Structure 1
Amino acid sequence: MQQLTTVEEVHESGSFRFTAEDPYGEPEEVVVVPCGEGVEAWVNRCTHEDQRFDTGRGVPMRDGQIICPRHGSMFDACEGDCDNGEAAGTTLPDVDLAERHGTVYLTDDDFEFMHEGGVDDDDDAPGSSSHLQL
């Protein structure tokens, strides 16, 4: 179980991005976003095209929905479902988390934490903790 961030930090900044090794040994970006009082984690790309939600400035969100910056499809931040735009009828791939006493942990057996921030970020560079709210 890898400690990632806190629920409070995700709610204050709007999102948290990290890179994990996927089941095929490839680096995959993951975003943690607010969901009600807690948080959820999703693979950082739209299901319609390989478009990242968070490119280093935070996940664009409005009214509890993640917005694809390319085509405007909106995904429920808690369920990952999309019911509009180019990605309608799809669901984001989820990544399992656990929250204990306000701390968020990566618990998904299919992903191994590599570093905070995006795939292209240096391991020593600060990760995405900023947000973009529309």
Structure 2
Amino acid sequence: MPNGTRVASVEEVPEVGSYLFTVGDRHSTDREVILVTCDETPGVRAWINTCPHEFQRLDRGDGAAMRDGEVICPKHGSMFDACSGECDNGQAAGTTLPRVEIAVSDGAVYLVDEGYTYRHEGGVDDDGPGSTSHLSF
């Protein structure tokens, strides 16, 4: 068993779509992470749930859109390889999804990235104001 926190079983990660969970970073800021299937060993990858082109959630709570082994940004349609995180098309071309280190053992996925602490299954609780600023100048 890896040194880390169990996140989910491999069976809980959909073949098309994503499994969403929340971590805390070194500054205690909550961040969303998605688990997606990948054709390369160990069969699952973890990425920060944000398009690097423009702050946009890839999984808005009902699974990330995917096609042919790529995660699709819902805003601009850029596609990220599920295994490498790299994008070679659309407005996000040349960017890579930020990776979160995981390990797979005995059919379970473990968070082993020392930069993050597992918080809970699902996304960040968005009870506060949205991304629209309420400031006036």
- Fold shared by both chains (TM-score > 0.5): yes
Runs of 4+ deviating beyond 6 Å: none
CA distance in 2, matches of 1:102, 1:11: 14
The answer to whether residue 35 in structure 2 is matched with residue 36 in structure 1 is no
Q: Secondary structure at the match of 2:31?
A: strand
TM-score, normalised by the number of residues in structure 1: 0.86
Distance 1:121 1:82, change over 3 A: same
Is 1:3 matched up with 2:36?
no
TM-score (norm 2): 0.84
Cα distance in structure 2, aligned partners of 1:74 and 1:2: 29
- 2:79 is matched with 74
Q: Shift of residue 121 of structure 1?
A: 6.5
Aligned alpha-carbon RMSD (Å): 1.6
Alignment of 1:18-97 (within 5 A): 18-36=21-39, 38-97=43-102
> Does the residue aligned with 2:13 lie in a helix, a strand or coil?
helix
Provide the rounded CA distance (Å) in 1 between the counterparts of 2:79 and 2:16.
20
Question: Which runs of no fewer than 5 residues in structure 1 stay unpaired?
Answer: 123-134
Indicate the structure whose relative CO is greater, using CA pairs within 8 Å and at least 6 residues apart. Answer: 1
Give the C-alpha shift of residue 12 in structure 1.
5.0
Task: Report the equivalent of 2:133.
Answer: none
**What runs of 5+ residues in structure 2 fail to find an aligned partner?**
128-137
- Counterpart of 1:117 (choices 111, 122, 127) is 122
Task: Determine the C-alpha separation between the residues in 2 that align with 1:25 and 1:56.
Answer: 22
The structure with the largest alpha-carbon Rg is 2
Percent identical residues: 57
